[in-house]
């Protein structure tokens, strides 16, 4: 489910070319998630890595994450946390 969430989030990415010629990308629904790169592909790969790191930090802090395309990782994390406590 984690991989599907990241893939769904990537479909919502917005990219632009900055004045310095580098590429900038962000996911509007994921506050603070952005990346840049010398090429569009480098920017995409970095953005994917940033999403993964952002999710992991959020899970560790118990922060809810936005539902994207019907994928709700909050339910998944709560279920797994409950099974670990049992």
Number of domains in the chain: 1
- Can you give the pTM of this predicted structure? 0.84
Query: In the structure, what pLDDT confidence band is assigned to residue 75 with cuts at 50, 70 and 90?
Result: confident
pLDDT above 60: residue 17 = yes
Quick: pLDDT tens for 23-69: 999 999 999 999 999 999 999 999 999 999 999 999 999 999 999 99
pLDDT above 60: residue 78 = no
The reported pLDDT for the residue numbered 18 is 98
- The phi, psi pair for 47, rounded to 5°, reads -60, -40
Strands 23-26 and 34-37: antiparallel
CATH for 38? 3.30.160.250
Strands 14-17 and 23-26: antiparallel
Range of the domain at 52: 2-85
């Amino acid at each position: 489910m984690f991989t599907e969430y990241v893939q769904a989030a990537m479909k919502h990415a917005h990219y632009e070319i900055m004045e310095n010629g580098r590429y900038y990308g962000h996911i509007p629904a994921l506050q603070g998630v952005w990346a840049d790169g010398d090429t569009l592909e480098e920017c995409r790969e970095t953005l994917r890595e940033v999403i993964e790191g952002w999710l992991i930090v959020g899970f560790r802090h118990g922060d809810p994450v936005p539902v994207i395309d019907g994928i709700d990782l909050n339910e998944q994390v709560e279920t797994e946390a409950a099974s670990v406590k049992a």
